[in-house]
């Protein structure tokens, strides 16, 4: 049985005409970094909050929490961009075609450890999965991972020793798995909410947010005919639990697809917001 209850507040979802937009950050009222997806391109638009005009465009990527780095993949290389200036800080060959993992349902990239020290890029299909764990400080590959089956990135710990993966089973159900980076092996155990009893999960992940100390990752999931829920994953070890949210499934209410999460700076409270 899942733990029921979450602190819920109203929020605002920003959407634009002709594309998907998600606010990434606003600093001191000066610049707004906005992920913009259209039919032809995906970029980060840097908007002046006073003039409301776009100063420049950056490649679509994943930023570090201090916004000193924006990582993106161009062809077969990892590119580190300075978000403040748009200058390329470094370029690292990946030795193959990889992409940044999706962090949200609408495709905003992720793959970073909470402290920004490790970045995971992936190349997956229904039968094989390939990943690189990159040390962003030294621009070197710590571990190359090759797995049979369809796996996708979920999270990586601050020390880079624990990689959490989503293992897709049949197009609907999936497992949360732990990969031991030090030992170079997939842990045979499945990461589950032990109070629930079910090993396989069902649902679509909308987005996730980690605590600033890197101990926990909270992700919000929606299901077609069941209530949405928050999946709380410990990044210190294979432990998870779930918090149910109000609702009966997005098949009956498309508004359930608008859930998002916010967290206090000290990680003591998490807010689930839905503007509907």
What confidence tier does 113 reach under pLDDT thresholds 50, 70, 90? very high
C-alpha–C-alpha distance, residues 262 and 224, integer Å: 23
C-alpha–C-alpha distance, residues 268 and 163, integer Å: 24
Lowest mean pLDDT among 1-5, 233-237, 262-266: 1-5
Instruction: Evaluate whether the domain defined by 3-273 bears CATH number 3.40.50.2300.
Output: no
Residue 29 has what pLDDT? 55
Under DSSP, the state recorded for 109 is B
Token pair for 194: 């032990």
Which residues, listed in sequence order, are joined to residue 205 by a DSSP beta bridge? 221
Mean pLDDT over the full length of the chain: 88
Q: What is the mean pLDDT of residues 177-206?
A: 89
Residue 106 has what pLDDT? 87
- Terminal alpha carbon distance of the chain: 27
Token pair for 30: 């000066």
Q: What is the mean pLDDT of residues 90-94?
A: 98
Q: What is the mean pLDDT of residues 190-213?
A: 86
Residue 255 has what pLDDT? 93
Residue 197 has what pLDDT? 61
What confidence tier does 66 reach under pLDDT thresholds 50, 70, 90? very high
Kindly report, residue by residue over 115-131, the tens digit of the pLDDT: 999 999 999 988 999 99
Assess whether pLDDT exceeds 80 at residue 267. Answer: yes
C-alpha–C-alpha distance, residues 12 and 273, integer Å: 8
Q: Domain boundaries in the chain?
A: 3-273
Residue 273 has what pLDDT? 95
What confidence tier does 90 reach under pLDDT thresholds 50, 70, 90? very high
Are the C-beta atoms of residues 165 and 238 closer than 8 Å to each other?
A: no
How many helices and strands in the chain, by DSSP H and E?
0, 24
Assess whether pLDDT exceeds 80 at residue 25. Answer: no
Assess whether pLDDT exceeds 60 at residue 10. Answer: no
């Amino acid at each position: 049985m899942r733990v029921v209850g979450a602190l819920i507040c109203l929020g605002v979802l920003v959407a634009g005409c002709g594309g998907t937009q998600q606010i990434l950050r606003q600093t001191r009222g000066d610049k707004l970094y906005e992920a913009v997806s259209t039919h032809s391109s995906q970029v980060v638009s840097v908007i002046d909050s006073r003039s409301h005009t776009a100063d420049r465009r950056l490649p679509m990527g994943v930023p570090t929490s201090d916004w000193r780095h924006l990582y993106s993949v161009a062809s077969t290389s990892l590119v580190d961009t300075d978000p403040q200036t748009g200058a390329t800080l470094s370029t690292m060959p990946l030795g193959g075609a990889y992409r940044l993992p999706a962090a949200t349902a609408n495709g905003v990239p992720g793959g970073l450890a909470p402290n920004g020290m490790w970045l995971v890029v992936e190349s997956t299909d229904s039968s094989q999965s390939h990943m690189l764990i990159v040390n962003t400080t030294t621009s070197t590959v710590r571990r190359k991972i090759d797995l049979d089956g369809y796996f996708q990135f979920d999270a990586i710990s601050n020390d880079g020793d624990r990689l959490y993966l989503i293992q897709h089973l049949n197009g609907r159900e999936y497992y949360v798995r732990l990969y031991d980076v030090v030992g170079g092996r997939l842990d045979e155990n499945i990461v589950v909410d032990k109070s629930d009893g079910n090993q396989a999960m069902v649902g679509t992940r909308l987005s996730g947010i980690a605590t600033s100390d890197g101990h926990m990752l909270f992700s919000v999931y929606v299901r077609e005919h069941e209530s949405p829920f928050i999946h709380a994953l410990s990044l210190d070890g294979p432990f998870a639990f779930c918090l149910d949210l109000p609702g009966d499934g997005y098949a009956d209410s498309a508004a359930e697809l608008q859930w998002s999460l916010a967290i206090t700076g000290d990680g003591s409270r998490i807010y689930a917001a839905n503007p509907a």
